[in-house]
Amino acid sequence: MDREEAAKICFRRMEEEDLDQVAELEGRIFSMPWSRKAFQDSIALAHTLFVVAERDGRILGYCGCYQMLEEAEITNVAVAEDFRGQGIGRRMLEELMSLGQEQGAFAYTLEVRAGNEAAQRLYESLGFESLGIRKNFYEKPAEDAVIMWRPWKA
């Protein structure tokens, strides 16, 4: 994707109108996907924040978190297969954490598949550190999760 195409991508809060595309993308990417209703229920909560990357009406990716006081747990990060490796995941997470900070979240945690080294490198480049392993956290296929934490940065 060239600069002109990248400039056309809008990073914004997830809206009700996005849910069909988000649920479809979730189903293509994850072996145990969230339902459309799960996303609908989540974006309705005051302590959640979900962001989408959208271009010309197409959702290219999304990410979200649940906030607990000054900490937030990132629950979903997904980018459409044909748009990976183009910085969309990074930009979505930066937007998510920027909006989260406006709501008072300054530290973040997440779990990532132990075998997903590309995602782990992305998170590390954003200041996340590995804190340990959750054994057998994932199913279909069974896999450990790496617990990652981005501490509060004043």
DSSP code of 138? Answer: E
Single out the catalytic residue among 17, 123, 129, 138.
123
Catalytic-role residue among 111, 129, 138, 139: 111
Active site residue 62: no
Burial of 80 (0-12, 13-18, 19+ CB in 10 A): middle
On the 0-12 / 13-18 / 19+ scale of CB atoms within 10 A, 83 is middle
**Secondary structure E strands in 33-80:** 48-55, 58-68, 71-79
DSSP type of residue 82: G
For residue 123, indicate whether it is catalytic.
yes
C-alpha span between 96 and 48 (Å, rounded): 11
Please state, in angstroms and rounded to a whole number, the distance separating the CA atoms of residues 22 and 87.
19
Reference 149, options 54, 74, 96, 64; nearest CA is: 74
Active-site residues: which are they? 111, 123
